[in-house]
Structure 1
Amino acid sequence: MSDFLFTRDTPAQYARALHSTVDTVAVHLAGTGGPRSAASPGQLEDLVAAVDLDRPLGDLGAAVDETRRLYLDHAVHFHDPGYMAHLNCPVAIPAVAAEALTAAVNTAVETWDQSTTATLIEQRIVDWTAARIGFPAAGEPDGVFTSGGTQSNLQALFTAREERLSRPHPGTRQERLAGLRIVAGEHAHFSVAKAAHLLGLAPDAVVFVPGTRSGALDVVALERALHDVAASGGEVAAVVATAGTTDLGVIDPLPGVAEACRAHGAWLHVDAAYGGGLLVSPTRRHLLAGIERADSVTVDFHKSWFQPVAASALLLREGRSLRFSTWSAEYLNPRHAVRPNLVDKSLQTTRRFDALKLWMTLRTVGAEEIGRALDRVLDLAQEAGRIVAGAPDMELVAEPVLSTVLFRHVPPGTGEDDADRIVEAVRTALFDSGRAVVASTVLDGRRCLKFTFLNPATTATDVERVLDLIRAAARETAPRPLEAVAGAR
């Protein structure tokens, strides 16, 4: 048998390869001096293009070394305190161990005869998360792991669509599809509109409700939107509340939204992809009060739970609603099967054993330690907001709620247009230098810089350092006066 395959005959070879690879990664990560290298896109393209995939190196050590030069040396490192851009996190070490286990065994969790206890472990994690949300046991809550928040939201809205269409109502299915609406806050994640498109709803199917001054969904405006849909003869497939908007970190008023949904008989989906980690926060769990009244909830464990990509889950208040995702195949999950087949409730067929990552983290350090790590980054965001607000050349755009901080660099004498230009110039300069990575967005027509904190090791000193880098980059990228340009010729 070929010795490049991991079989029962090669455990020692596998152990050596695994240890060598892990050692390479550990040494590399310990020595990084910034979130990324300063290599240009052209240089990276040349590096990758120079590899001849039809001429193997013939040695794993050589392949690992080549991969280090191609990938590790130029990867974006989320564990570095200079990374403050998106909702990417450093990962829990027990979860890395779980990844090695699942990759080596190559478990697929779609059916019992491919997974056995892996199916049971995922189900326990689903049940545990549903209990943390507060779903009543009487409804037999259930859920399924997915590839990410976008897929979780898609399946939630698909389920809501089918639940709505299963109710008696005049018109054919096609006619009713044309009149279905999804109501969401103006800061809802883009995946809501994308899901509506993929589900075959009308181009104007998503009704965006204006927010309050804080950016949270306005319950009075929501009530008005629900009434307007009904008055026009349409049907509401779902209301989407967000527990942690991407830019502002705002949590919609879940109790008020739930009341409006109950009054109008509307499905409530809570997108807690970002804020779901609050379920285990020792100090901020109350921010999710009302989430237990949702019909479905999205939670991304690979964000505020510090798990490797990908690990998301869709949780449903009543597990029977997952029946809409069931499709049986005789060779795989026949209708007469007596053992649990997770493919019965998943949009995917082949699926990784991602639940083991969270399982091993919980069994190693416990839920409260995860929550305390999240609390540290939320505390840092508050401190970063104070630092920005106290700087004469910085403008805090919105008070931090979770771990995002929106701000603008406005040196003395800078106009609105110049402040907008500074944002992208600074962001690009920092990324190209490899010394820091920050994000940008647009809020109320104004372009802003954005810090997103998900690294518990990042400190206020790191924030001050990156702000100084922003100032330096703004000076270096500022347009030169015409007389200076002329004098330089």
Structure 2
Amino acid sequence: MKHTYPLEPDHAEMVRTGRLVLGRAVDFIESLPDRPAFVADEPDARGRVGALLVPPPEGPQELSELLDRIDAAAGQAIETTGPGFLGYVPTGGLYAGALADLYKSALNRYSTLAAAAPGITAIEESVVRWIARDVFGLPGGSGGLLTSGGSMANFSAVIAARTARTVRSGANLSDATIYVSEQTHHSVGKAAILAGFSPYRIRVVPGADDLRMDPVAVADMIKEDHLAGLRPTMLVATAGSTDTGTVDPLHRLADLAAREGMWFHVDAAYGGFFALSERGRARLAGIERADSITADPHKSLFLPLGVGAILVRDRTRLATEQLSAPYLDDVTSDDLLPDYADLGPELTREARGLRVWLPLHLHGIRAFRDALDEKLDLATIAFERLRAIPELDLPWTPELSTVAFRARAEGRTGAAARRADERTTRLLEQVNASRRVYLSSTVIRGRKVIRMCILSHRTHRDRVEEALDLVEKALAGL
């Protein structure tokens, strides 16, 4: 039967198409344990991708055929949603988040101005306040904004720091300095430049042997900048670095920032929600002293990609440019709820709160806490087993759920290090060739390192043990 697909389908058609799409989604999720962790380059891959670069047709096409094409397109990818994805921290794809997205899109509420949809805005605001006050321990008066991810959250933090420490004091940015570590995510530097800071005023602080930002080194750099007539403005710490999951000494850095009158930002995009667990909260001690915090629910809350958060100690610090227009005069709000248009650059934005709110209320916080505790346990299991292998070097003990390892160098010379890096590269290639797991690599202080990031709610001990078996098997063949 040929369907016509009107823009306003009747009840039967909505049910039919909805069941078809939902059925495909369920089939996909149930297939994840057996799907390859990534699709290797194939001879016709470029041609198949190019075939998708076509304009839409004049008339309708069958939904089932279009879903077939989407399935084929989605299959040409790293399987970020599956249990074998151990390469990077954005994983997740929680089913309840997908349901929330579907319903949210059907409701199509505009919530950037609270008066337009106060109920949906209240749901989002409850999520923001829970993250700021319950998860991170920020005081009353704190708040924030859900963003597209950590990059936009970090950008918002830099803007808040710029306004609080320069614009409101009548100063300019020419002498304002920002301090980051060698492990700080590159989005912070990008945000600083976009916000008008000079790239020559971004100070990269040398880390200690454990890769954590060294407070003594920061203090020395600040002293030098004062002597040079510069103005230390912002100190950025990390709670869960991308490379190794490292957590900076937050209390000591908070002390330094307070002493110098600097804005203290903590990028907890990866590690933030580990604060839900007792162990994670202990490792993130001091985060409650931040002026601003970045957190990504699409990382350590396992949600579908596209939701981050910027939290600030004083919500008014985000209200940098409250511009309006006459056509918005009829949409007036009171002080019960914020207008998110005043807290960020977007006037049109999706109602991101439902993607976080529904899973939290459906499953309960305990389910997320237990899953995060499991990830900490799995990282410890992986670390202990890898550390027992003589051919491997594990320079850093995991603080969260990322385990970094490399082939051990046979000697201290540069040539020995290069040979070890070559073995590390071959080891990674052979492990990933199984297509049962996907690990990634990085370069830390000039050395090649393999990363095992354990953060999917679908990754359990059996898949981690399988990955470790593959490492041992690959090592035996090098």
Instruction: Give your verdict on TM over 0.5.
Output: yes
**Aligned positions of 1:22-421 closer than 5 A:** 22-32=22-32, 33-36=34-37, 38-40=39-41, 42-51=43-52, 52-55=54-57, 58-71=61-74, 73-112=75-114, 114-132=116-134, 133-137=136-140, 140-168=141-169, 176-332=172-328, 338=334, 340-410=338-408, 415-421=416-422
Please report the RMSD computed on the Cα atoms of aligned residues, expressed in angstroms.
Answer: 2.7
State how far apart, in whole Å, the 2-side matches of 1:27 and 1:235 are: 57
Aligned to 1:12: 12
Q: TM-score, normalised by structure 1?
A: 0.88
State how far apart, in whole Å, the 2-side matches of 1:17 and 1:430 are: 40
Identify which range, 301-310 or 463-472, moves more after superposition: 463-472
State how far apart, in whole Å, the 2-side matches of 1:198 and 1:368 are: 39
Aligned residues: 467
SS of match in other structure, 2:349:
coil
State how far apart, in whole Å, the 2-side matches of 1:446 and 1:17 are: 52
- Cα deviation code 1:70-90 (max 9, x no counterpart): 32x334323433211001222
SS of match in other structure, 1:466:
helix
Shift of 1:113: 5.3
State how far apart, in whole Å, the 2-side matches of 1:156 and 1:314 are: 7
State how far apart, in whole Å, the 2-side matches of 1:5 and 1:205 are: 57
Unaligned runs of 5+ in 2: none
SS of match in other structure, 1:22:
helix
Shift of 1:92: 2.7
Compared CA separation, residues 427 and 333, structure 1 to 2 (3 A): farther
Compared CA separation, residues 475 and 18, structure 1 to 2 (3 A): farther
- Cα deviation code 1:30-57 (max 9, x no counterpart): 2342444545255232223335544466
State how far apart, in whole Å, the 2-side matches of 1:43 and 1:299 are: 39
Unaligned runs of 5+ in 1: 479-489
Shift of 1:470: 4.2
Compared CA separation, residues 276 and 3, structure 1 to 2 (3 A): farther
Letter in 1 for 2:224: D
State how far apart, in whole Å, the 2-side matches of 1:179 and 1:333 are: 40
Compared CA separation, residues 356 and 3, structure 1 to 2 (3 A): farther
Identify which range, 226-235 or 111-120, moves more after superposition: 111-120
State how far apart, in whole Å, the 1-side matches of 2:6 and 2:113 are: 24
Percent identity between matched residues is 31
State how far apart, in whole Å, the 1-side matches of 2:393 and 2:386 are: 7
State how far apart, in whole Å, the 1-side matches of 2:87 and 2:475 are: 18
State how far apart, in whole Å, the 2-side matches of 1:334 and 1:231 are: 53
Compared CA separation, residues 237 and 332, structure 1 to 2 (3 A): farther
Shift of 1:147: 0.8
Aligned to 1:485: none
Q: TM-score, normalised by structure 2?
A: 0.90
Shift of 1:217: 1.4
- Cα deviation code 1:177-230 (max 9, x no counterpart): 111111122211111111121122222111122222211111222222222222
Shift of 1:6: 5.8
SS of match in other structure, 1:284:
helix
Does the CA contact (< 8 Å) of 1:154 and 1:192 recur in 2? Answer: yes
State how far apart, in whole Å, the 2-side matches of 1:474 and 1:287 are: 33
Aligned to 2:443: 442
Compared CA separation, residues 441 and 10, structure 1 to 2 (3 A): same
Does the CA contact (< 8 Å) of 2:4 and 2:60 recur in 1? Answer: no
State how far apart, in whole Å, the 2-side matches of 1:412 and 1:202 are: 43
Aligned to 1:466: 467
